[in-house]
Chain A
């Protein structure tokens, strides 16, 4: 399988809120990396998982599919999924795929954390 060109890390900017920093290219080949990152974020008491796309270089349709599966996992745990750092282009893609109806998009991290 082609190597995933991505790195993800998880941090906690406030109690009950985890941010996954995404750096690189989000494609279907990133499934193990995203699954591990979500696993790190999914701790007891976490009510919101925020995806930071500021370091996103590229995303294809496989990446969108991965986000849908993560969304389902979060919903199963009664967690909210939010995002910030999307370029105008990827905001349009979230709108086209209607992912923005399930993942709340914010302009920046402060706004995402404040709303959580």
Chain B
């Protein structure tokens, strides 16, 4: 068996993490994708966002598969499990720590280009972190584990809306659309792996407070045509 980031030992598990960086630098952009709303942007954790903080957990049983098989398939075919109106351009080299995936979507009927950094990846989980301008600030962790002898696939979001515009959209329609999107993703993954189990959803408000000091995040909003860039010299 090869030893690498996907087969971690206690000595090399540090490689499961992306390396530290101040801002995102895009390498090769897949055909059809746009990196202009990701290039040069800083990462935003839940503590950098504006809106209420939510922990959303979606999980589904995948009998007959190991956690490693589930995550292997999820990484390899990540984009195919998304709804048709949303496109994920996986990193050219695959879902590995430090790579960037690009997203083309719509938010409230408006076109949105954004992306995610692969923050962490091992053989039973991987995580994304979002950049400035993304609808939400935070982490999305995909994992698989054994629960009473059955493998469960799980997507867990720990997020705040990135700015007041997104927060208003989330309250009106975005949050429900987001939930449906992840339920669809888990259902598609289960179908692909031969499971007809129902997707379980658990949503918890971790922090009811909005962070008004982050109001200014709106200047990076990916829906605004002239959202501020962080290109070198662009401020």
Contacts and interface: CB of A to CB of B under 8 A. Distances in A.
Interface string B7-49: 0001001101111110000000000000000000001111110
A65 B141 contact: yes
Interface stretch (B117-125, B191-199, B222-230): B117-125
Main secondary structure of the interface of B (DSSP, over half): strand
A96 B158 contact: no
Closest 8 CB pairs of A and B: A61-B127, A61-B120, A92-B20, A96-B20, A72-B207, A98-B45, A102-B47, A65-B158
Given A1-B147, A93-B17, A98-B43, 15 more contacts: A2-B146, A29-B145, A62-B143, A65-B141, A68-B45, A68-B47, A72-B206, A89-B17, A96-B17, A96-B19, A96-B20, A97-B43, A98-B44, A98-B45, A98-B47
Nearest to B55: A69
Interface of B: 10, 13-14, 16-21, 43-48, 53, 55, 119-120, 122, 125, 127, 129, 139, 141, 143, 145-147, 156, 158, 206-207
B47 A96 contact: no
Contacts, number: 75
Contacts of A8: none
15 contacts: A2-B146, A58-B10, A60-B120, A61-B119, A61-B141, A62-B127, A62-B143, A68-B47, A89-B14, A96-B18, A96-B119, A97-B119, A97-B139, A98-B45, A99-B47
Given A69-B55, A101-B47, A95 B20 contact: yes
B16 A60 contact: yes
A69 B28 CA distance: 35
A92 B22 CA distance: 11
B20 A64 contact: no
Contacts of A95: 20
Given A93-B17, A95-B20, A97-B129, A68 B158 contact: yes
Nearest to B46: A68
- What band does the interface of chain A fall in when counting residues whose beta carbon is under 8 Å from B? 20 to 34
Main secondary structure of the interface of A (DSSP, over half): helix
B139 A65 contact: yes
Interface string A63-83: 011001101100010000000
Interface string A93-114: 1011111011000000000000
